[in-house]
Structure 1
Amino acid sequence: MNHNSHLAALQMAEEAVGLDAWESIKTSSVGVIVKLKEMDYTWSAKAVHHLLTNQLVVNNIHEIWSVEVDHKPFWEEIGVSPSHGPMFSELRLLLTQIRNWSFEKRRMIGLLSVLSIGVLGISPGSRIPLEQAKRVLDIEAFERYPWGRVAFSSLVNSVKVISFEERNKYTLRGCVHALLIWVYESIPGIGEEYGNRIEGNQVPLLSWSASRCRINWDLFYKKEKSLHQKVKFFFMIVSSY
């Protein structure tokens, strides 16, 4: 899904699950994705492409978490195979039917939607891995799980398999918005000229509101060279959990 499709899908989920469930999701461990939707934020694919085609090296290893919960009755109730995680295309059909469901079940559908759209960043026809999907049935286990690592790993893995030379188009997965934040943070001149920093926000993902101006890279390089004689860009990616 592209940026506009992401926003539309999250808006659909918000309207379907109800205000109480959505407010609960906003305060959950994946709530940053919901808050990002509410900001005046514009995705810049060209800026991200420029970063990706220059340098990006990340090594990230994390432990595997497991959760034991009887998940089959829930999947059967919503018409999803208990052997596989749900697809957003399946969840989207449910969004028109859940208004009178219990708070807990509406929240579970909302959390699954956020996982598919904003954390894993997968297509509507791709399944959420079952081991991750079933965590929504145990809210305490869900909150303990390192979803930031999941989003980051999904993003980095999708970057590693891209061949920029052979394709005119490619697909990124995971929390793709982090890449644009890296552009603003790693190249200060771009952040100053094309990004709007939100002071006082402790969450990096919510610290920038992008402008709608397209980045003119040739003009930017000329300006930087005239100011500093030489231009050296070092992309440093730091992840803390």
Structure 2
Amino acid sequence: MRCGLVGPEPLRFSLLEFENLTGLNCEYIEDLETPKCDVTPEMVSFWGMLGVHLEAGPTTDQIIAALKRCGDWSREDRKRLAYLSIFTGFIEGRKFSTATRSTLARLVMDLERFENYPWGRVAFKVLMDSLWNKEIAGCYTVDGFIQVLQV
């Protein structure tokens, strides 16, 4: 996949390079962006502690606020919060006040499923969607795991 130019030469950057650089799971999954995740009372409680509406994913600002008050949360809930921090800050990597997708954020309720999800594929898609066919003149914000492009 062509992603830009370095001088006059096209820069080629694919999912394979992304996976090699990040070490993230990039396996194929059919329902990548809309995994099924049932709303449970535990999820309602956790989203309430986060201060996030159940139908919305958390923003980075909300995650930062939750980090300041999570000292008395259970170990499992603090782990969920840490995973959401990585998800909002690196996988989706959007503006601090922009909500992440709840369909993906909700996966944090099943820690094993969250840990084994192909986040590399999600991060690559977010990054490429942010760059693909955009007129990058002047100031432009890139979403996703942009650090990999610096490498």
TM-score for the superposition, normalised by structure 1: 0.49
Letter in 2 for 1:67: K
Aligned to 1:94: 66
More contact order relative to length (CA 8 Å, sep ≥ 6): 2
Give the Cα–Cα distance (whole angstroms) in 1 for the partners of residues 142 and 29 of structure 2.
21
Aligned to 2:146: 176
Which structure 1 residue ranges, 5 or more long, are not aligned? 1-47, 182-241
Instruction: Give, in angstroms, the shift of residue 75 of structure 1.
Output: 1.0
- Aligned residue for 1:55, secondary structure, equals strand
Give the Cα–Cα distance (whole angstroms) in 2 for the partners of residues 141 and 162 of structure 1.
34
Is the 8 Å Cα contact of residues 119 and 147 (structure 1) preserved in structure 2? yes
Instruction: Give, in angstroms, the shift of residue 119 of structure 1.
Output: 1.3
Aligned to 2:10: 55
2:37 to 68, 91, 97: 68
Give the Cα–Cα distance (whole angstroms) in 1 for the partners of residues 90 and 96 of structure 2.
12
Q: Of Structure 1 and Structure 2, which has the larger fraction of its residues in helix? A: 1
Q: Measured at CA, do residues 133 and 78 of structure 1 come closer, stay the same or move farther in structure 2, by a change above 3 Å?
A: same
Provide runs of 4+ in structure 1 moved above 3 Å. 48-54, 56-62
Give the Cα–Cα distance (whole angstroms) in 1 for the partners of residues 131 and 7 of structure 2.
8
Give the Cα–Cα distance (whole angstroms) in 1 for the partners of residues 106 and 52 of structure 2.
12
Give a deviation string over 1:94-130, Cα, whole Å, max 9, x none.
1111122111111111111111111111111111101
Give the Cα–Cα distance (whole angstroms) in 1 for the partners of residues 86 and 134 of structure 2.
25
2:90 to 102, 109, 118: 118
- Aligned residue for 2:10, secondary structure, equals coil
Give the Cα–Cα distance (whole angstroms) in 1 for the partners of residues 7 and 132 of structure 2.
10
Q: Measured at CA, do residues 52 and 85 of structure 1 come closer, stay the same or move farther in structure 2, by a change above 3 Å?
A: farther
Give the Cα–Cα distance (whole angstroms) in 2 for the partners of residues 128 and 52 of structure 1.
34
Aligned to 1:83: 55
Is the 8 Å Cα contact of residues 5 and 11 (structure 2) preserved in structure 1? no
Within 5 Å, which residues of 2 pair with 1:82-231?
A: 82-164=54-136, 167-181=137-151
Is the 8 Å Cα contact of residues 4 and 10 (structure 2) preserved in structure 1? no
Give a deviation string over 1:167-197, Cα, whole Å, max 9, x none.
212111111122122xxxxxxxxxxxxxxxx
Q: Measured at CA, do residues 131 and 72 of structure 1 come closer, stay the same or move farther in structure 2, by a change above 3 Å?
A: same
Instruction: Give, in angstroms, the shift of residue 68 of structure 1.
Output: 2.6
Give the Cα–Cα distance (whole angstroms) in 1 for the partners of residues 8 and 123 of structure 2.
21
| Percent identical | 27
TM-score for the superposition, normalised by structure 2: 0.75
Is the 8 Å Cα contact of residues 57 and 99 (structure 2) preserved in structure 1? yes
Letter in 2 for 1:63: E
Letter in 2 for 1:134: R
- Aligned residue for 1:83, secondary structure, equals coil
